[in-house]
Amino acid sequence: MRIVLAAVCAALIAAPAMAATVTEASVLWQWTGPYDGLPPFDKADPKLFDAAFEAGIKAQQADIAAIVANPAPATFDNTIVALERSGKQLDRNGRIFGVMTANVSNAEWQALDKRWAPRLSAAADAINFDKRLFERMNAVLADPGKMTPEQLRLAQRYRDRLARSGAGLDDAGKAKLGALNQQLATLFADFSARLLADENSWTVVDSEAALAGMPAANIAAYRAAAARNGAPDKFFIVNTRSAVDPLLTFATDRRLRETVWKKFVARGDNGDANDTNALIADIVRLRAERAKLLGFATHADWRMQDTMAKTPAAATALMMRVWPAAIARVGEEVADMQKIADAEKAGITIAPWDYRFYAEKVRKARYDLDQAELKPYFALENMIEASYWAAGKLYGFTFTEVTGKVPVFAPTVRVWEVRDGKRGFVGLFYRDDFARAGKRSGAWATSYRSPSSFDGPVTVLSSNNNNFTEAAPGESVLISLADARTLFHEFGHALHALSSQVRYPGLGGTPRDFVEYPSQFNEHWVLTPEVLDKFARHYKTGAAMPTALIAKIEASDKFNQGFATTEGLSSALVDMALHTLPGGIVDPDAFERDTLTKLGMPAQLVMRHRLPHFGHLFQSDAYSAGYYSYLWSEVMDADTWAAFTESKTPWDPAIAARYKAEVLATGNFPDRGEAFRRFRGRDPEVKALLEKRGFPTN
C-alpha cells in the first residue's frame, strides 16, 4: 500500500455538485477483463473523478478504521499486511488520473487536479497522523523475532515513513503540517499547468529555406506538426526537447537557433500568466518550514533520509568530484568550436544556441562523423525491436503485441504481452511514444500495477512514455542516437518492473538514487555490435550500418562529455543548493544565476532544466533534493557495465542472470547497497564513471 488517502473531514472533501454518481464512477476502480483486470483508460471521463475520489477516500477510511479498531494485539498480519491490502480502490483511481493528467491533459483535467490535490493531501495526512496506527506499528516492531527479515524490513519502512510524515507531532504540529502539505499540493498542480501551457507552444517558420541544414525527416516532422495545427503551409517547432534539439544541432540560420533556444529555456520565465517564479519561491519556503517542523535542518536533509546517499553532504561530495573535470572539458570543447567558427570567419563568439551546432562541426572534423549521417539508421520501430531483442537475449523476455485488445488513453498507444522464459507470462508493457498537445514533456516510465505475490501473482502493468516527433503520414520516424539511448533508458525502468519478484508491494519500490541505476545501465546495449548489426539498418534500403561508420561512433563515444555532464550536473547542484537553504527564502532567477556563478558555470551553456521549468522539482516532492540521483545511479551503472565487459562477451548469460536475480528482481529487500555488493562482490567505485565519461580518474 502507498500511504495515501484516508479519513478526512467532510468540509475537506466537499466538492462542487457531482457530475456522476458513485455507481457510474465505479468503472474507474472495477478493473475487469483479462490480465487480472485492466485500467479502463477508454472510460476515463473527467466527470467521473469527483465521485470516484470521494468514494475512494471513504473506502480507504473504512480500511484504516478496521485496522486501528482491531481489539487483537498488533501483529505483522493484522497491521502491516492489512495496510498492504488497503486503499486499492483509491489507488486505482489515482493511477488512472495520473496517466490522464500527464498524457492528455486539458483545462478540465487541470481544474480537477487543482481542486483535488489539497484534498488528497489532507486525506493522506489523516493516515500519517493517526496515533493509533503509529502505536500499532511500534507494537509490531517491539517483537521483531516474530518476523522474517523481509517482514521486519517492511514493518520498519512503514513505521519510519509515518515518523517522517509527522506521526510523532502533537496536535498543533499535525494541524500546521497538514496545512503546509495542502498548500504545497495546490502549488504543484499550478506549476504543472503553467509549464504545460508553455510547452504547448511553438515557433512558426514560414519557409523551408529557413530550415537549411536540417535533415529532411525533421523538416517533414515540423511540416506535419504545423498541418496538425491547421497551418499546412508552415513549419512548427514545438517547444519540447525532441523538436528543439535537432534544430539547434543542424539549422544553419543562427538567428532562428537563437529564437528557438531562448523560447525553450524561458519556459515558465516570461513574466506572464504562465510564469512559475512566484510559485517556486512559495514551494521552497513552505518546504523549508515543513522540514523545520519535522525536526530537520533543511528540506534536503528530510528528503534524503530514505536514500542511499543519506545526506546532502554525501551527494554533494560525489557531484563536486565530477564537476571540476566537467567544466574543464567544456572549456576545451568551446575552444575547439571557436577555432572552427573563426576559420569560417563567422565573426561570432560561441553562445549557448551555437553549442550543439558547432559541436557537430567539431565531431565532423575530428571523427568524420555527422549526426545526420546516423539518423537514417535509427528508425524508431527498429529501435523498439532492438530493445525487446536485447531483453530477450539478456534476461529471457519475449514480447507479443496485443494492441487493439487492451484499453488505451490515446490512439497511438501500443501494448505487448511480456513473458519470461522461466516464469511464463508476467505482464503487459504499454508504449506511448509521441508528443501531443496536453502531454507533458520529457520521457518517463510508469507502473499501472506493480508486482507482488503475497496474495498470489498479479499481472504487472508497466509503461514507457516518450515525446518523439511523429513523422508525416507514410514516413518512417527517425530518431537520433541520443533518442535511442533515451528509449533504452526508459525501457530499463520497465525491465526493472517486469523482473521484480517481490512478495509485498511495500518493498517494490527503491530509493530514488537507486531507481535510475537499471535504466541508465540499459542504455549501454544500444551501441553493442550485435544490436547495431541487427537493428541499425537504413530505413529505406535495409542496409546495415557501415563498419566504418560504427568505428566513427566508437571513436567519438566520449566526445562532448563536458557539455553532457555539465548541463545535467549543474541542475543537480542548483537543486541541492536550493533545498539546503535553512530558511527557504529565495528569488528563483537570482538564486539560479548566483549559484551558477559561484560554481563557475561556463557561459556557453545552461542547466538542462532551469528552475522555472524544472518539473522534477516542482510538480511534486518526488525528485526535490534528488536530481543528483542520476549521477549516484550512474556510478553503479558504470561499475556494472565494467562487470559485463570484463567477460569475454557483454552478453554473458551467467552475469546477466546474476544481475537480474540480485538487482532487478529484488525490489527493496535486501538493502540496495547490499544488493549491489551481492552482484559485484564489493561497493561501487566512482572510477568506472570517470573513465566512461573520459575524465581523469586521479
**Which residues carry out catalysis?**
490
Q: Copy the grid coordinates of residue 187.
A: 502549488
Radius of gyration, CA atoms only, the chain: 25
Q: In what order do the strands lie in the sheet with 424-434?
A: 397-401, 414-420, 424-434, 460-468, 444-449
| 516 phi and psi angles, rounded to 5 deg | -85, -10
Which H/E stretch holds residue 418?
Answer: strand 414-420
Contact 288, 299 (CB under 8 A): yes
CA 486 – CA 564 distance, rounded (Å): 14
Which one, of 471, 404, 473, 460, lies nearest residue 433 by Cα?
471
Does residue 523 contact residue 488 with C-beta atoms inside 8 Å? yes
> Which of 482, 374, 486, 473 has its CA nearest to residue 433?
486
Q: How many CB atoms lie within 10 A of CB 71?
A: 4
- Give exposure, 188-227, as e/b (b: 16+ Cβ within 10 Å): bbbbbbbbbbbbbebbebeeeeebeebbebbbbbbbbbbb
SS3 190: helix
Around 358, how many Cα atoms within 13 Å sit in the side-chain half-sphere? 26
CA distance 299 to 171: 22
Closest among 610, 638, 618, 645 to 529, alpha carbons compared: 645
Which of 134, 9, 11 is CA-nearest to residue 64? 134
Distance CA 113, CA 373 (A): 44
Q: Is 600 exposed, middle or buried (0-12, 13-18, 19+ CB in 10 A)?
A: exposed
Question: Cell for 483?
Answer: 533518442
With vertex at residue 89, the alpha carbon angle to CA 171 and CA 127, rounded to the nearest 5 degrees, is 10
Structure-derived torsion over alpha carbons of residues 575, 576, 577, 582, reported in degrees to the nearest 10: 110
Backbone angles phi, psi at 205, to 5 degrees: -115, 130
Cell numbers describing residue 278: 512566484
The count of C-alpha atoms lying within 13 angstroms of the C-alpha of 285, restricted to the half-sphere facing its C-beta, is 12
Q: Which residues make Cβ contacts (< 8 Å) with residue 462, sequence separation at least 6?
A: 427, 428, 429, 430, 445, 446, 447, 448, 493, 494, 497, 498
Query: Which residue, 293, 320, 281, 79, is CA-closest to 190?
Result: 281
Instruction: Give the C-alpha separation, 69 to 67, whole Å.
Output: 6
Q: Euclidean distance between the first and final Cα of the chain, in Å?
A: 46
In contact, 159 and 180? CB cutoff 8 Å: no
Query: Are residues 614 and 338 in contact, defined by beta-carbon separation less than 8 angstroms?
Result: no
- Is the CB of residue 54 less than 8 Å from the CB of residue 16? no
Which grid cell sits at 391? 531483453
DSSP single-letter state for residue 307: S
Peptide bond into 149 cis (omega under 30): no
